[in-house]
Amino acid sequence: MAVLTKDRSFYKSLILLAIPIALQNFISFAVNFADNLMIGRLGEYVIGGVYMGNQIQTFLQFAVNGIGSALLILAAQYWGKRDTSSIRRLTAMCLRICTCLGILLSVFSFLFPRVIIRVFTKEELVIEQAIIYLRIVCWSYIFFCISQLLINAMRSVETVRIGLVISIITLFVNIGLNYVLIFGKLGFPALGIRGAAIATLISRIVEAAVMVIYVFFIDKKLLFKAKHIFLSGGGLFRDLVRYGAPVLGGQVVWAINTLAQSAIIGHMSAEAIASVSVAGNLNTLLYMVVLGLSAALGIITGKTVGAGKYDLMKEYAKTAQILFAVIGWVMGLLLFLLRTPFLSLYDLEPETIAVARQFLNVLAVAMVGRCYQATCLAGLVKAGGDVSFVFKNDTIFVFLVVLPAGFIAQNVFHAPAWVVYSCLLSDQILKCFVAVWKINSFNWIKNLTREKTA
């Protein structure tokens, strides 16, 4: 078997699918970064308030990504068989689940914002800012669920450009509204953190509206219409539960991991809270490219396995591992080199800048492992049909390694913030050893489809 596949269609498909997804991710990041940068002009406590106020959004994003990933894994394999009827049924079920989840979290966040924020931090000034933000932005959850689920449905049939178009629209809407509402331009009052929340809410509404119009009235592949929303799943519902539960479970584990890490960091200083938000932005910016490639690899994997081309899939897997290992080293080096110019964009206290620099050093090392193991386990193992392995692997590392190490470092040894942060990211390197073994065993290649439904 060749180390690098000679099948040019693999590289072509990987690039053509990855570019729109990566650009979509980048623009989505740019929206969040613009929020962060503009809010940063208002001080550390406001930055911390937005960061803590977005923890429910973080949880929701993990949950929706779990449901969307389950849809994408199954639907991509059905797309390999060109069975769009089954994809429509899967889409309908997932859309109903996501919408109900969004409504539930919106109502809960509006009614109990203080209870939620106090889980993550005891800084009173941060809490007050976070409550203001959360009680407005919470209503965006419903629209976020609708748009993201439909984007995944389109990706499963290799329609990825619509996600890019929506992100561009959202970019202009959000940044424009941020500028007007945060700082009080064009005759509007300066609303500060309230303005950022309102801008996000309006952007999510526009995003969902455009996505619904495209899917229901423009798309010519899936042909999903309003009448299909209440389609029964039949046997597909059992498949969605069977194969989707580990995927969703994995997302829940990561949501717990992220929220627990936020709680650990939230009990540090205000400088550490602001620093993790700032440092995370540069990390996310560079990782956007890798996420696009990983998502594209997942689509190719599902389609190839669904079509029954198992030998070709093994060839693709060998190639993908080499590509992502090299990309990991490149991204880690870039993250390290861009620390100083990136931090100069923020108007922060010297103590906060110093902590953020230390966090970025840790992230640079973690990036090397993350680009290989996280992307290959998702784009190959999970997309290839072994949906439970990644869930089990993540669960073991989160609850037996990451969180205990971070808690002990902070509360027993009272270690510096960067040491605690290193413990919280240690799994990104350790998982590489597991990934090498699992991927090259090839026992993850499994066809999950049924015979074509009416």
DSSP string, 28-81: HHHHHHHHHHHHHTT-HHHHHHHHHHTHHHHHHHHHHHHHHHHHHHHHHHHHHT
Q: What is the pLDDT of residues 134-170, one digit of tens each?
A: 999 999 999 999 999 999 999 888 888 898 898 888 8
Which of 337, 360, 371, 370 is CA-nearest to residue 418?
A: 360
Look up residue 282 and give its two tokens.
């540069």
Tens of pLDDT, residues 180-201: 998 888 888 888 889 989 998 9
Residue 448 confidence (pLDDT)? 83
Quick one: residue 264, left, alpha or beta (phi over 0 = left, psi -120 to 50 = alpha)?
Answer: alpha
Tell me the two tokens of residue 174.
């959000």
Q: pLDDT digits over 284-300, tens only? A: 878 888 888 888 999 89
CA neighbor of 190 nearest in space, from 42, 30, 339, 292: 42
Q: Is residue 148 part of a domain?
A: yes
Between CA 263 and CA 139 the distance in angstroms is 24
CA angle 128/56/412 to nearest 5° reads 80
Does residue 450 sit within a domain? no
Number of domains in the chain: 1
Q: Is 222 helix (H, G, I), strand (E, B) or coil?
A: coil
pLDDT tier at 1, thresholds 50, 70, 90: low
Confidence of residue 454 (pLDDT cuts 50, 70, 90): very low
Q: Would you state the pLDDT for residue 2? A: 61
Mean pLDDT, residues 212-217: 94
Residue 3 has pLDDT above 80, yes or no: no
Q: Where are the alpha helices (DSSP H) in 222-349?
A: 235-266, 270-306, 310-337, 339-343
Does 100 or 123 have the greater pLDDT score?
Answer: 100
C-alpha 131/C-alpha 45 separation (Å) is 12
Print the domain residue range for 253: 8-439
Q: Give the number of other CB atoms < 10 A from CB of residue 326.
A: 12
Q: Is residue 250 domain-resident?
A: yes
120 — alpha (psi -120 to 50), left (phi > 0) or beta?
alpha
Is the residue at 449 inside a domain? no
CB-based contact 60:104 (threshold 8 Å): no
Residue 282, CB-side half-sphere exposure with 13 Å CA sphere: 29
On the 0-12 / 13-18 / 19+ scale of CB atoms within 10 A, 262 is: buried
Cβ-in-10-Å burial (0-12, 13-18, 19+) of 344 comes to exposed
Give domain status of residue 38, yes or no.
yes
Instruction: Give the mean pLDDT of the chain.
Output: 87
Q: Does 444 fall in a domain?
A: no
**DSSP secondary structure letter of residue 309:** -
Please compute, for residue 155, the number of CA atoms within 13 A of its CA located in the half-sphere on the CB side: 33
In a domain, 382, yes or no: yes
Based on the number of CB atoms within 10 Å of its own CB, is 413 exposed (0-12), middle (13-18) or buried (19 or more)?
A: exposed
Contacts of 235 (CB under 8 A, 6+ apart): 450, 453
d(Cα 405, Cα 233) in Å, to the nearest integer?
43
Q: Is residue 214 part of a domain?
A: yes
Predicted confidence band of residue 441 (pLDDT cuts 50, 70, 90): very high
pTM beyond 0.85? no
3-state class (DSSP) for residue 376:
helix
- What does DSSP assign to residue 453? P
Q: Can you tell me the distance from the alpha carbon of 331 to that of 287, in angstroms, rounded to the nearest whole number?
A: 8
**Token digits of residue 91:** 């889409």
Which two structure tokens, joined as six digits, stand for 145? 């669920």
**Residue 395: predicted pLDDT:** 94
Angle formed at CA 244 by CA 102 and CA 254, multiple of 5 degrees: 65
Mind listing the pLDDT tens digit for each residue in 25-78?
A: 787 777 766 776 777 777 777 877 887 788 888 788 888 888 888 898 888 888
CB 254 within 8 A of CB 62: yes
- Between CA 132 and CA 109 the distance in angstroms is 11
353-389 pLDDT, tens digit per residue, is 888 899 999 999 999 999 999 889 989 998 898 988 9
